[in-house]
Structure 1
Amino acid sequence: MTPGLLISAPASGTGKTTLTLGLLAALRAQGVCVQPFKNGPDYIDPAFHAAASGRASVNLDGWAMGKAMLAGLIHAGADADLVIAEGSMGLFDGVAVPGAHGTGASADLAALTGWPVVLVLDVSGQAQSAGAVALGFARMRPEVQIAGVVANRVASPRHEAMVREGLAAAGIACLGCLPRNPEIELPERHLGLVQAEENPDLARILDAAGAFVARHLDLNAIRAAAGPTRLPLTPPLPITPPGQRIALARDAAFSFVYPHQLQGWRAAGAEILPFSPLADEGPDTAADCCWLPGGYPELHAGVLAAATKFRAGLCAFAETRPVHGECGGYMAMGAGLVAADGSRHEMAGLLGLETSFAKRRMHLGYRRANLTAPMPGQPAGARLMGHEFHYASILAQPDAALAEVTDATGAAVAETGSRRGRASGTFFHLIAEAL
């Protein structure tokens, strides 16, 4: 079984992604074949993992995915030398009510797989106390093994010595210390990191991160700390594609597609036909369905409003075949979108949805949906697990609801999605069918 490690931390913003990318790049430079994964429903990090490792990264989500699905997805890394999974938020952070296989916490994935945890600690405001923090994490759940600590944002050699002293007193291995390095910081915006494909400096940043990590961490000790994957590996579970030939919107405005969904569609024999709304392209007329993923339509609202060929092609397509949108794609299918500056931009008009970014309001969390009508690939009555993350406010949602939607606690949410004719859309991103 391929050995693995989970990169986690006490909280978000501690340096998990930077360390993960640096490790992937450094080990790849040494000729090590590393399979990356991402715990949780993050839409953006897997593309960075793929750029750093040269292998597709896949989301592993204990709340939305059952054990069999997780095992099947992890099977994709069976031919690698090492698995490195990046955690989400803090190690033990998840939702209050468990889902398919846990709360979505990174610790649940570590316990399920047996992968030891490399704990990233931001020590910018402490020294020997880092040992107490690490010891608390090591004792929190006996079935979760802490392989050691990487101390991040170390100020000086003296500071490093004190941090190492505290970790040694707690009996926790120090796998290395990283000083601050602004040269490898990745730019961010409201939904997280600026997407990998939009960063022209990414190759340089990844090379610099790999060299930085190799210089300051004990890569041999990190590889030796990896534990065998104890989850029995099985073939991936089948995923029902939305059609046989899928016209998929794909550009900087529409890019939030979970890699496991695309892999599942292709494994089922579906053909994916990408097109770019920002380049004023319509869906391929040879396709039998159209899928508009989430992304950043609010950043490109003026371009989309002026993309007459895209809008006309999409409307013509919807006269005879289904069109479905997720989050940003759903907004682009609506009647209009109000940008952050208050200007309204006309969208495709397949649905009556009106959304606004003029008054930002964050919508974030897991979603359960019971479909009250069919959508591409799913019949009415299907129970789906997904995730919602956006800052749009609904000004109008006049069409029939597509689903009854609740959050992780079972509370109803207003973002039910909607349908009109062959057009449908949701604010949540589909992760898996419910068990």
Structure 2
Amino acid sequence: MTARGLIIGAPRSGSGKTTLTLAMLAAFRRRGVAIRAAKSGPDYIDPAFHAAATGAPSLNLDSWAMAPAQLAQLAGAAARDAELLIIESSMGLFDGAEAAPGRQGAGADLAAGLGLPVLLTLDVSGQSQTAAAVARGFVGHAPGVEIAGVLLNRLASERHKTGAASAITQIGLPVLGSVPRDERLALPERHLGLVQASEHHALQDMLERLADVAEAHIDLDAVAALARPLAAPQPTGPAPVLAPPGQRIALARDAAFSFIYPHHLQDWRRAGCEIDVFAPLADEPPPESCDVCWLPGGYPELHAGAIAAATRFGEGLRRFATTRPVHGECGGYMVLGERLEDAQGVSHAMTGLLGHSTSFAKRKLNLGYRHAVLLADSPIGARGTTVRGHEFHYARIIEAGRDAPLVALRDAQGRDLGTAGGRRGHVTGAFFHAIATQPDGESQHA
């Protein structure tokens, strides 16, 4: 079975893409459709909601960070054993990095590259017929990107619906759904986006309510009929993936450590690796049977006191690091440092495996794609390896420490950002999240 697919896009973040995507995923699953989901761009939180709605993993498809061969492989994997694949675009449909066409990280790249139609979600609160002008601007804006239908969101009344829908129909676009404004459908948020799916109380009840909304207000048969087979090119060679950091990987996973991309876990398991999960918030140390420890990103700033009090975890991690590699990404990197200052300005002792200290009280947003060259061997790869990824954090370093840096960074436009991260003995870490190894010889500006 190979799924037909479509992309849910919008003019901007906050248009309701995630809510309506979840509503349709839950409704199709209720109907017995073998449904899968994916997310364009770097995002840990939305795919976890997708997975809850579909009962299957949701992969990230990132046209900037991933080489075409890897993108084709992952898209094919997402479509395998399914009837329908819904890809949720990040931000606005055409938003991405200033990079080569097709490699900008935009949802539009996937629409053109995979030959999939776009179902455009329009938040029409505060407008009516003007929504047609917005939709018209998307039609024909970029070669290969087909706007095949529209979903209207946050309608105030039947009159509001009629005015917007009739104007859009007149420009030749079908309106496949009209969803009323309902604040009860809003998903709770925090500083990095939605509250994690694992923390959402009564998530299944929420998904049932969203499925009811989709059944009542979206023409699901028409949405399914819109979908097309993926036109992904066949990979011409092996896709470059993040090499397994070890044969048996100790992976921290709980409410403080949850941000790891499903495609990494998929690739590592495919390579024959075992992944042993442990929970620092439950004061669990990394299993001694493992040969490498990975601390993902997440929300350690919300659990700094509990992490500081988790003595078995801290002592076990320090013992592990005397003989085996330990790597921390973003939140994991913060926990590897000396101290973490929470939002109230209270300082908590961390593991002290690296010399820096971080603060969430003195916030500064760091957001963007990153091109990294490794300055030493680490669980991300060998010295000199180039890796594409991203940063998204509000915490900042308040004490740099004296550790050697781990990576040399450039942004998506190739601007030099200097060195970052730290390494000491077997321990490495950085705010940088790795998405994919860059193929040999590929330009960093691609």
Which TM-score band applies after superposition, normalised by the shorter structure? over 0.9
Q: Does 1:391 align with 2:391?
A: no
Superposition TM-score, scaled by structure 2 size: 0.95
Q: Whole-Å Cα distance in 2 between the matches of residues 75 and 337 of structure 1?
A: 41
Q: Whole-Å Cα distance in 2 between the matches of residues 208 and 58 of structure 1?
A: 24
Q: Does 1:341 align with 2:359?
A: no
What CA deviation, in whole Å up to 9, does each residue of 1:200-223 have, x standing for no partner?
221111110011011101111111
* Structure 1 stretch displaced more, 413-422 or 56-65: 413-422
2:166 matched to which residue of 1? Answer: 165
| Alignment check: 8 A CA contact 1:415 1:427 kept | no
2:432 matched to which residue of 1? Answer: 428
2:268 matched to which residue of 1? Answer: 265
What CA deviation, in whole Å up to 9, does each residue of 1:276-325 have, x standing for no partner?
11011100000000000000000000000111110000000000000000
Letter in 2 for 1:204: D
1:29 matched to which residue of 2? Answer: 30
Identity, % of aligned positions: 56
Q: Aligned pairs, how many?
A: 434
2:444 matched to which residue of 1? Answer: none
What CA deviation, in whole Å up to 9, does each residue of 1:171-214 have, x standing for no partner?
11100100012222110000000000011221111110011011
Distance 1:404 1:280, change over 3 A: same
The CA deviation at 1:412 is 2.5
| Alignment check: 8 A CA contact 1:73 1:236 kept | no
1:247 matched to which residue of 2? Answer: 250
Q: 1:25-104 to 2 correspondence within 5 Å?
A: 25-76=26-77, 77-98=79-100, 101-104=102-105
The CA deviation at 1:61 is 0.1
1:127 matched to which residue of 2? Answer: 128
The CA deviation at 1:243 is 0.4
Question: Which of 355, 360, 369 in structure 1 is aligned with 2:358?
Answer: 355
| Alignment check: 8 A CA contact 2:372 2:410 kept | yes
Give the match's secondary structure for 1:295: coil
Give the match's secondary structure for 1:400: coil
1:186 matched to which residue of 2? Answer: 187
Give the match's secondary structure for 1:294: coil
Q: Does 1:296 align with 2:299?
A: yes
Give the match's secondary structure for 2:13: coil
1:16 matched to which residue of 2? Answer: 17
Q: Whole-Å Cα distance in 2 between the matches of residues 144 and 92 of structure 1?
A: 10
Q: Does 1:282 align with 2:315?
A: no
Q: 1:96-115 to 2 correspondence within 5 Å?
A: 96-98=98-100, 101-115=102-116
Q: Whole-Å Cα distance in 2 between the matches of residues 134 and 269 of structure 1?
A: 47
Letter in 1 for 2:82: A
Q: Whole-Å Cα distance in 2 between the matches of residues 240 and 414 of structure 1?
A: 25
Q: Does 1:320 align with 2:323?
A: yes
2:368 matched to which residue of 1? Answer: 365
Distance 1:428 1:399, change over 3 A: same
Letter in 2 for 1:298: E
* Structure 1 stretch displaced more, 392-401 or 419-428: 392-401
Give the match's secondary structure for 1:349: coil
The CA deviation at 1:236 is 7.6
Give the match's secondary structure for 1:153: strand
* Structure 1 stretch displaced more, 47-56 or 224-233: 224-233
Q: Whole-Å Cα distance in 1 between the matches of residues 399 and 414 of structure 2?
A: 24
Q: Whole-Å Cα distance in 2 between the matches of residues 267 and 209 of structure 1?
A: 35
Q: Whole-Å Cα distance in 2 between the matches of residues 334 and 322 of structure 1?
A: 16
Q: Which runs of 5+ in 2 are unaligned?
A: 440-446
| Alignment check: 8 A CA contact 2:242 2:381 kept | no
Question: Which of 327, 331, 334 in structure 2 is aligned with 1:331?
Answer: 334
What CA deviation, in whole Å up to 9, does each residue of 1:22-50 have, x standing for no partner?
01000000011111000000111111000
Letter in 2 for 1:264: D
The CA deviation at 1:377 is 4.9
Q: Whole-Å Cα distance in 1 between the matches of residues 365 and 100 of structure 2?
A: 23
Give the match's secondary structure for 2:416: coil
| Alignment check: 8 A CA contact 1:402 1:418 kept | yes
The CA deviation at 1:170 is 1.1
What CA deviation, in whole Å up to 9, does each residue of 1:71-112 have, x standing for no partner?
11112122210110000000111112349x511011011000
Letter in 2 for 1:91: L
| Alignment check: 8 A CA contact 2:112 2:143 kept | no
Q: Whole-Å Cα distance in 2 between the matches of residues 268 and 59 of structure 1?
A: 19
| Alignment check: 8 A CA contact 2:341 2:358 kept | yes
- For the aligned residue pairs, the C-alpha RMSD in angstroms reads 1.3
Give the match's secondary structure for 2:334: helix
